[in-house]
């Protein structure tokens, strides 16, 4: 069988990155080898995202560029998978006539069969059905060669209906992987040199509800905490309403659970939170933060905020800034609200105008910049345990890694350190990273 070339471009979140790795593995068995040059490809797959309008626009212009390659290579096939493919389905062919294949978030396992039918018959198809059990959830994604840290999907889908969010409609209801299957995968990864796993799901806190024996997320963390060779455990994303006292207590108890949590708050106004259907109040969020800091002093807390949700008044926005000043997030990802078709908020009255959203985002980001810098500056002079992940992007003589609380650290060193935990004294702090000097191996965590 002649080897064919596959080029995959991924948009969106880590879940999509994982899915792309699964697609590559599945197509490898049908004789496709991946390439990083789209012009050399026989098959191009764009794994799409639909979280905000901007994502959809970027994807369409990228598909326009790929279409030009068809003029040079008439045998080139172009497919789209992922969330926008799930959303647009058959109509993707009308919007982008150069497409050959559309497959949804539950249809990844059928990719080889779809590609071979396409090759045989030339028929263009859109497959976007949902499955009771998503078959691709059980496929282990293969980490990049030489990787120290990787993601492990533990569940997918979501049973919450946040009014702004298109994900439940595109990924379906929550489904968890069996605990023994996940632990088995983590053991294999440890054997391949992985030292850090990030457990991945749309709402990891509600892990296990569909599983035998009802293991919960804290049980899963404890089980992974016993896997030899895994030094660090992280997870994303958590819903504040499902963050249990048992999980909070895990921070002090499971040695490999890193001192960082990403806990999206979305707004600091009760009125807006209610209209978003988030299921908690600002006070409850503050109490969770306090409990986390009590159980794990110094824990790093990052979050997501949406500005300009329908009906957000200036006083609501001021409440978000006030929450930020009180909590002092280590980092914050912030977005202008983007109406998504099929979500509760898209049809709400009192949509906020673009220039107001833009201005609010600017103010919020300036405030967060000062907080992030303040937090990073506080690391100066400390000695941190850094898990070395690779050579720094900009400096060939520097290594890069992360602290347990998720800050990037660059320091002079050599590639022999990759995969080790070393002690680094922090000498410089920037907005996106720290710099330091190595003091020794073995990773003291001295503050």
Write out the residues near ligand 5AD by the rule CB under 6 A.
51-52, 164-165, 264, 266, 304, 306, 335, 337-338, 340
Which CB sits closer to ligand 5AD, 7 or 164? 164
Nearer to ligand SF4, 83 or 409 (CB): 83
Return the residue of 4, 32, 42, 50 that touches ligand SF4, per CB under 6 A: 50
Site for ligand SF4 in 78-107 (CB under 6 A): 82-83
CA dist 118 and 101 (Å) reads: 8
How many angstroms separate the CA atoms of 134 and 402, rounded?
Answer: 33
Q: Whose Cβ is closer to ligand SF4: residue 19's or residue 219's?
A: 19
User: Distance between CA 36 and CA 7 in Å, rounded?
Assistant: 6
Q: Cα–Cα distance between 290 and 374 in angstroms, integer?
A: 20
| Contact partner, 16, from ligand 5AD, ligand SF4, none, Cβ < 5-8 Å per class | ligand SF4
Residue (206 or 421) nearer to ligand SF4, CB = 206
Given the complex with ligand SF4, which of 49 and 221 has the nearer CB atom?
A: 49
Task: Decide: 429 and 379 in contact? Cβ < 8 Å.
Answer: yes
Part of the chain binding ligand SF4 (CB under 6 A), chosen from 10-18, 146-154, 188-196, 292-300: 10-18
| Total residues at interface with ligand SF4 (CB under 6 A) | 12
Sheet containing strand 43-48, edge to edge, reads 32-34, 4-10, 43-48, 77-81, 101-103, 125-127
How far, CA to CA in Å, does 348 sit from each of 2, 73, 162, 309, 345? Answer: 54, 46, 13, 10, 5
Q: Minimum CB separation from ligand 5AD for residue 314, in Å?
A: 19
Indicate which of ligand 5AD, ligand SF4, none lies near residue 12 (CB less than 5 to 8 Å, by partner kind): ligand SF4
Q: Is 49 in the site for ligand SF4 (CB under 6 A)?
A: yes
Phi and psi at residue 107, to the nearest 5° = -115, 10
Q: How far is the CB of 202 from ligand SF4 (least distance, A)?
A: 7
User: In the complex, what is the shortest distance from the CB of residue 411 to ligand SF4, in angstroms, rounded to a whole number?
Assistant: 32
Report the nearest approach of ligand 5AD to the CB of residue 405 (Å). Answer: 20
String of contacts with ligand SF4 for each residue 144-183, x by CB under 6 A? -----------------------x--xx------------
Integer Cα distance of 6 and 115 in angstroms: 12
Question: What is the distance between the alpha carbons of residues 385 and 254, in angstroms, rounded to a whole number?
Answer: 17
| Contact partner at residue 8 from ligand SF4, ligand 5AD, none, CB < 5 to 8 Å by partner kind | none
Report the alpha-carbon distance of residue 404 to residue 260 in Å, rounded.
7
Minimum distance from CB of 236 to ligand 5AD (Å)?
10
Judge whether 400 and 389 are in contact, CB under 8 Å: yes
Give CB contacts under 8 A, 24+ apart, made by 284-292.
284/240, 284/241, 285/240, 285/323, 286/323, 286/326, 286/327, 288/240, 288/243, 288/248, 288/263, 289/263, 289/327, 291/245, 291/248, 292/248, 292/251, 292/261, 292/263
Q: Least distance (Å) from ligand 5AD to the CB of residue 306?
A: 5
Q: Give the 3-state secondary structure percentages of the chain, helix then strand then coil, rounded to 5.
A: 40, 25, 40
Burial category of 279 from C-beta neighbours within 10 Å (exposed 0-12, middle 13-18, buried 19 and up): middle
Residue range at the interface with ligand SF4 (CB under 6 A); choices 7-15, 62-70, 247-255, 362-370: 7-15
361 within 8 A of 334, measured Cβ to Cβ: yes
Looking at the DSSP bridge assignments, the partners of residue 224 are none
- Picked from ligand SF4, ligand 5AD, none, the partner binding residue 266 (CB below 5 to 8 A depending on kind) is ligand 5AD
Going along 316-444, which residue ranges are E strands? 331-336, 383-391, 398-402, 408-412, 421-429, 434-441
Neighbours of 164 (CB within 10 A): 25
15 is in the binding site of which of ligand 5AD, ligand SF4, none (Cβ under 5 to 8 A by kind)?
ligand SF4
Least distance CB 304 / ligand SF4 (angstroms): 11
Helix (H, G, I), strand (E, B) or coil at 290: helix
Q: Binding residue for ligand SF4 (CB under 6 A) from 6, 8, 15, 44?
A: 15
**Residue with Cβ nearer ligand 5AD (257 or 306):** 306
- When CB distances are held under 5 to 8 angstroms depending on the partner's kind, the choice from ligand 5AD, ligand SF4, none that residue 83 binds is ligand SF4
Is residue 59 at the binding interface for ligand SF4, with CB under 6 A as the rule? no
CA quadruple 290, 294, 295, 298: dihedral sign: positive
Q: Which residue is nearest to ligand 5AD (CB)?
A: 304
- Of 15 and 115, nearer to ligand SF4 (C-beta) is 15
What are the residues binding ligand SF4 (CB under 6 A)? 12-13, 15-16, 49-51, 82-83, 167, 170-171
């Amino acid at each position: 069988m002649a080897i064919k070339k596959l080029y995959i471009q991924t948009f969106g979140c880590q879940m999509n990155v994982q899915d792309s790795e699964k697609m590559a593995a599945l197509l490898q068995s049908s004789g496709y080898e991946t390439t990083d040059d789209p012009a050399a490809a026989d098959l191009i797959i764009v794994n799409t995202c639909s979280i905000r309008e901007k994502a959809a626009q970027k994807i369409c212009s990228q598909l326009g560029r790929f279409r030009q390659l068809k003029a040079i290579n008439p045998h080139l096939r172009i497919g789209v998978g992922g969330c926008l493919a799930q959303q647009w389905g058959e109509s993707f062919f009308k919007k982008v006539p150069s497409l050959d294949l559309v497959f949804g978030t539950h249809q990844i396992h059928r990719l080889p069969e779809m590609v071979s039918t396409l090759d045989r018959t030339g028929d263009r198809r859109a497959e976007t059905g949902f499955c009771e059990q998503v078959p691709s959830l059980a496929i282990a994604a293969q980490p990049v060669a030489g990787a120290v840290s990787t993601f492990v999907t533990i569940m997918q889908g979501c049973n919450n209906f946040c009014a702004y969010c298109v994900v439940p409609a595109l990924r379906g209801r929550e489904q968890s992987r069996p605990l023994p299957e996940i632990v088995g995968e983590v053991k294999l990864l440890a054997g391949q040199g992985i030292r850090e796993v990030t457990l991945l799901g749309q709402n990891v806190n509600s892990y296990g509800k569909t599983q035998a024996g009802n293991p919960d997320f804290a049980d899963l963390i404890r089980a992974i905490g016993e896997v030899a060779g895994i030094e660090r455990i992280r997870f994303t994303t958590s819903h504040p309403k499902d963050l249990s006292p048992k999980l909070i207590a895990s921070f002090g108890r499971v040695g490999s659970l890193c001192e960082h949590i990403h806990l999206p708050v979305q707004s600091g106004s009760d009125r807006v939170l209610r209209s978003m259907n988030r299921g908690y109040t600002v006070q409850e969020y503050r109490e969770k933060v306090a409990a986390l800091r009590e159980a794990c002093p110094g824990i790093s807390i990052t979050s997501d905020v949406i500005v300009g949700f329908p009906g957000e008044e200036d006083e609501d926005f001021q409440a978000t800034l006030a929450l930020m000043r009180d909590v002092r997030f280590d980092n914050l990802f912030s977005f202008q609200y983007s109406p998504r078709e099929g979500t509760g908020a898209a049809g709400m009255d009192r949509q906020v105008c673009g220039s107001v959203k833009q201005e609010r985002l600017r103010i919020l980001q300036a405030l967060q910049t000062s907080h992030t810098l303040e937090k990073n500056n506080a690391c100066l002079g400390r000695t941190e345990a850094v898990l070395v992940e690779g050579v720094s992007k900009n400096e060939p003589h520097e290594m890069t890694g992360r602290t347990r609380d998720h800050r990037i650290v660059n320091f002079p060193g050599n590639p022999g350190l990759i995969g080790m935990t070393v002690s680094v004294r922090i000498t410089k702090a920037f907005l996106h990273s720290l710099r330091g000097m190595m003091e020794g191996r073995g990773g003291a965590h001295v503050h």
